[in-house]
Structure 1
Amino acid sequence: MNTTRTLPTIPLPATIRSRFVEDINGLSMHVLEAGFESKGRPCVLLLHGFPELAFSWRKVMPALAEAGYHVIAPDQRGYGRTTGWDARYDGDLNAFRLTNLVRDALGLVSAFGYRSIDAVVGHDFGSSVAAWCALIRPDVFRSVVLMSAPFAGPPPLAFDTADAPPKPKREDPVHRELAALPRPRKHYQWYYSTREANADMLHAPQGVHDFLRAYYHHKSADWKDNKPYPLQSWSAGELAKLPTYYVMDLASSMAETVAAEMPSAESTAANQWLPDRELAFYSAEYERTGFRGGLQWYRCGTSGLFTAELETWSGRSIDVPSCFISGKQDWGTYQRPGVFEAMQATACTRMLGCHLVDGAGHWVQQEQPNQVSRLLLQFLKQAAENVADEPFSA
């Protein structure tokens, strides 16, 4: 029995409905849907990141639907009201690897009766899933929008090594070097991969609601020290320039890290992009599910267990129309040195634009939804024209 069916109503605009779609790659998938009133509409799939939910798209879905699109936004594997995933730290990580997340997305659009859709749009970690959707199945995902997390392309295979002496794989020294800094530090993705990270956040001393309030504030344009710029290298000295939500103090949990930046009661009361009544939905969902499902995604990356599988696509690029949208005050654009540049130079061959939206930090579609909606609709129009200009191919 799916106990999520008895949960409180989600605070959504009247034009968005909540529903479940069964048997999606082993999941009962919770989906928000707009533009469902008539059949035959072109479809757009929206993929959220961490620590968010399909709910993060509530402000852009009505505009896309009003423009004629059928808009689908799932709680992805490990999140929210979607069930059928293993919440144990010692459970099977295979289910959370990127290729299986692509399979989730593929199964969902197929369940809705689409052989192809106009665009897949991903934010934060959802950007990685969207990128791999477009890379692996460009016939289905005919354009892609990457938000707040640029894509460097698939990992490369070793090349021209048959007659060279074998080189042992080097351990990345950056973590040891970060820990050895005068102010010892650690990278958040590796912290998120630890056994204790879920409990640190689920049982945060300030409570889940205030933890999320501080986390969202710290990574938003409201935190005035978010003034990002490109880093020169993946090195301890450069990474230490990142805010503490990315490169944490070595002895601190994430709950402790963001507590130091908790906004005042006045600031919280004045917040228009995430008022407390909307944040309360996020906090209630995470209090119920914990954070483990989203954290498993990070473990897939930091463990290196699935790199060999991703090397299957070594040398491939995203060749469908693409664009990038991020907040101008979002460090996510630059947190991996060189990736923003590589995305435009090699990873995406038909990049139609990169947009850094002023007045937005990491939560760009929540902080500046009107601007994001405008950019998405502009891109969808350009992408359709771009595809129409292609020579016919059998």
Structure 2
Amino acid sequence: MTDITHRFVTSESGLRMHVAEAGEGPLVLLLHGFPECWYSWRHQLTALAEAGFHAVAPDQRGYARTGGPDDIGQYTILHLAGDAVGLIGALGADRAVVAGHDWGAPVAWAVAQMRPDKVRGVIGMSVPHRPRSSRPPIASMRRMFGEGYYIVRFQSPDVPEAELDRDRAATFRRMFYGVSGDGPGSAMTAPEGGGLLDVLPEPEKLPSWLTAADIDAYVEEYADSGFTGPINWYRNMDRNWELTAAWHRAPIGPPALYIAGDRDLVAVGAHQVIDSMTDFVPNLRDTVWLSGCGHWTQQERPAEVNEAMLGFLRAL
């Protein structure tokens, strides 16, 4: 089996980033989401390498072994996209296919939109491309979903990371199970006076795609950096809206693929956006729905995701 190796690479953005990589060939950059790290791409790293690609999964800004600055304002979409673009150059490539899951998907879409010269293709998982809205997002989310909604809750200083850092093993078990295809499909809204984990049940048994060793791996990866950096991404959502005015409703030109589970609340709640995505992603080659799959697309359905990715990559 192909080995996954690790090293630190300084992105041309200036951030020293931990990367996991495997294989040689055209570069495929794999951008994880929340609350994940390079490890969420463990199945894709080896499959892509064995198919003749150089697969690289960084710990993104604020996460795991990469860590990041204390300043909340250093976690905007421009910083995140800059890290990814700068990593392409630092890895010795002119261009890459950029794949992203969960929060990694908006970063991948942004890289393809802002720097199409660097992108051979873009793959989004779970989170579709959403054109920039007419107003900042947080007030709208607060109005629609209330103060307990996780993104609104994450705007508060200190409180959300204190909850998630308290028992990281329980946090990962509950989050991965709760919104997976095997879980209850928990809405990520804390009850009044309670915490986010109160609506994410402790699994009686881990699903088949997630082992105790996987949970241990995530706990170990988060040992030094914790949850503050990852949550800082959410604290910049209104700032991102301000900073991306120049790309308001700008199309994404590179060839694209979208993959999602039909039990993923993020995707299911965005059907209208997904159905009209070609209005802004005109070269969307395919939309792949995975039956019975929840939010953790590439972890829950690695074989199907690998097949879809490789089909897309070989056709470029």
TM range (shorter): over 0.9
Q: Is the 8 A contact 1:31 1:75 kept in 2?
A: yes
Q: Does the alignment pair 1:45 with 2:5? A: no
The corresponding residue for 2:260 is 326
Letter in 2 for 1:380: L
Q: Which has the larger radius of gyration?
A: 1
C-alpha spacing 1:358/1:176, structure 2 compared with 1 (3 Å): closer
The corresponding residue for 1:189 is 151
- Residue of 204, 209, 224 corresponding to 2:169: 209
Q: Does the alignment pair 1:27 with 2:15? A: yes
- Residue of 213, 228, 239 corresponding to 1:305: 239
What secondary structure is seen at the aligned counterpart in 2 of 1:306? helix
What secondary structure is seen at the aligned counterpart in 2 of 1:212? helix
Q: Does the alignment pair 1:220 with 2:180? A: yes
The corresponding residue for 2:130 is 152
Q: Cα RMSD (Å) of the superposition? A: 2.1
The 5-angstrom pairing of residues 110-125 of structure 1 reads 110-117=89-96, 119-125=97-103
C-alpha spacing 1:365/1:21, structure 2 compared with 1 (3 Å): same
What percentage of aligned pairs have identical amino acids? 32
* Per-residue CA distance 1:73-117 (angstroms, 9 max, x = gap): 10000001014x224xxx241x21111111101111101111112
* TM-score of the pair, normalised by structure 1: 0.75
The corresponding residue for 1:200 is 163
The corresponding residue for 2:3 is 15
The 5-angstrom pairing of residues 244-323 of structure 1 reads 244-245=187-188, 247-258=189-200, 261-264=201-204, 267-268=205-206, 271-301=207-237, 304-323=238-257
Q: Return the offset for 1:177.
A: 6.0
Letter in 1 for 2:208: Q
Q: Is the 8 A contact 1:152 1:342 kept in 2?
A: no
Q: Number of aligned pairs?
A: 315
Q: Is the 8 A contact 2:132 2:241 kept in 1?
A: no
* Stretches of 4+ aligned residues off by more than 6 angstroms: none
* Residues in 2 aligned to 1:202 and 1:336: alpha-carbon distance in whole angstroms: 30
Q: Does the alignment pair 1:347 with 2:280? A: yes
The corresponding residue for 1:239 is none
* Residues in 1 aligned to 2:54 and 2:144: alpha-carbon distance in whole angstroms: 48
The corresponding residue for 2:50 is 66
Letter in 1 for 2:14: G
Q: Is the 8 A contact 1:56 1:365 kept in 2?
A: yes
Q: Return the offset for 1:170.
A: 11
Q: Return the offset for 1:340.
A: 2.1
Q: Is the 8 A contact 1:155 1:310 kept in 2?
A: no
Query: Which ranges in structure 2 are unaligned for 5 or more consecutive residues?
Result: none
Query: Which ranges in structure 1 are unaligned for 5 or more consecutive residues?
Result: 1-12, 158-168, 180-184, 227-242, 385-394
* Residues in 2 aligned to 1:136 and 1:66: alpha-carbon distance in whole angstroms: 31
C-alpha spacing 1:212/1:100, structure 2 compared with 1 (3 Å): same
Q: Return the offset for 1:32.
A: 0.5
C-alpha spacing 1:17/1:174, structure 2 compared with 1 (3 Å): closer
What secondary structure is seen at the aligned counterpart in 2 of 1:110? helix
Q: Return the offset for 1:308.
A: 2.5
